[in-house]
């Protein structure tokens, strides 16, 4: 009980860092599966591009752990496990179906939105804690997540959603 009472914002920040570190590593494994499963080349290319960005995002988090003299360690994030599980369901339930890519784009956007929520909060806490270097790294990643989200929206608008309207052959 007394130990809990001393937990402050820095502990919360570190826990949040572990959560997103776990999530990013999980996403790193999921993206190639989604790219491989995607029907269209554009969708596959978008997933592949973001996989490369994700590798750098993992490294940025490791830099932040390092700057805090903490080991880079993930903490199970049930939210990302669930979101990725839903993506896998799309892959199996819509295999070879016209709506597959629309579903995959939607699943990927759910991942980005989770990340955007988490990075937004970490940025606010890093500001409060005066962690200037961490702030810069987190902002860079947030920017990439937002750009990815927008790119996915455009993919949907540029034909993926329309193709999903076709009846299965």
Counting Cβ atoms within 10 Å, is residue 102 exposed (0-12), middle (13-18) or buried (19+)?
A: buried
Site string for Fe ion, 138-157 (x = CB under 5 A): -------x------------
**Residues in contact with Fe ion, total (CB under 5 A)?**
8
Stretch in the footprint of Fe ion (CB under 5 A) among 24-32, 39-47, 86-94, 97-105: 24-32
Provide the minimum distance between the beta carbon of 53 and Fe ion in the complex, in angstroms, as a whole number: 7
Provide the minimum distance between the beta carbon of 102 and Fe ion in the complex, in angstroms, as a whole number: 19
How far is residue 169's CA from residue 161's CA, in Å, rounded to a whole number? 17
Stretch in the footprint of Fe ion (CB under 5 A) among 40-48, 58-66, 109-117, 130-138: 109-117
Provide the minimum distance between the beta carbon of 72 and Fe ion in the complex, in angstroms, as a whole number: 15
Query: Under the criterion CB under 5 A, does residue 46 sit at the interface with Fe ion?
Result: no
- Cβ-based nearer residue to Fe ion, 129 or 151: 151
CA distances from 60 to 22, 29, 34, 125 (A): 13, 17, 24, 17
Query: Under the criterion CB under 5 A, does residue 57 sit at the interface with Fe ion?
Result: yes
Site string for Fe ion, 66-85 (x = CB under 5 A): -----------x-x------
| Helix axes 9-37 and 100-129, enclosed angle (nearest 10) | 160
Nearest to 159 by CA among 31, 34, 41, 51: 41
Counting Cβ atoms within 10 Å, is residue 14 exposed (0-12), middle (13-18) or buried (19+)?
A: middle
Provide the minimum distance between the beta carbon of 2 and Fe ion in the complex, in angstroms, as a whole number: 27
Nearest to 121 by CA among 13, 6, 7: 13
Q: Where are the beta strands (DSSP E) in the chain?
A: none
Contact positions vs Fe ion (CB under 5 A): 19, 24, 54, 57, 77, 79, 115, 145
């Amino acid at each position: 009980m007394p130990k809990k009472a001393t937990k402050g914002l820095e502990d919360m920040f570190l826990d949040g860092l572990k959560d997103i570190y776990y999530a990013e590593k999980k996403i790193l494994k999921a993206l190639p599966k989604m790219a491989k499963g995607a029907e269209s080349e554009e969708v596959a290319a978008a997933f592949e591009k973001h996989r490369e960005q994700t590798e750098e995002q993992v490294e940025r988090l490791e830099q932040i752990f390092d700057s805090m003299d903490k080991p880079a360690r993930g903490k199970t994030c049930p939210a990302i496990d669930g979101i990725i599980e839903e993506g896998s369901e799309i892959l199996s339930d819509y295999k070879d179906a016209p709506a597959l890519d629309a579903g995959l784009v939607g699943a990927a956007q759910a991942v980005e939105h989770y990340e955007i929520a988490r990075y937004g909060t970490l940025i606010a806490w890093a500001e409060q804690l005066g962690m200037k270097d961490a702030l810069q790294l987190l902002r860079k990643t947030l920017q990439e997540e937002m750009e990815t989200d927008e790119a996915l929206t455009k993919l949907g608008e540029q034909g993926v959603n329309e193709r999903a309207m076709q009846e299965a052959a």
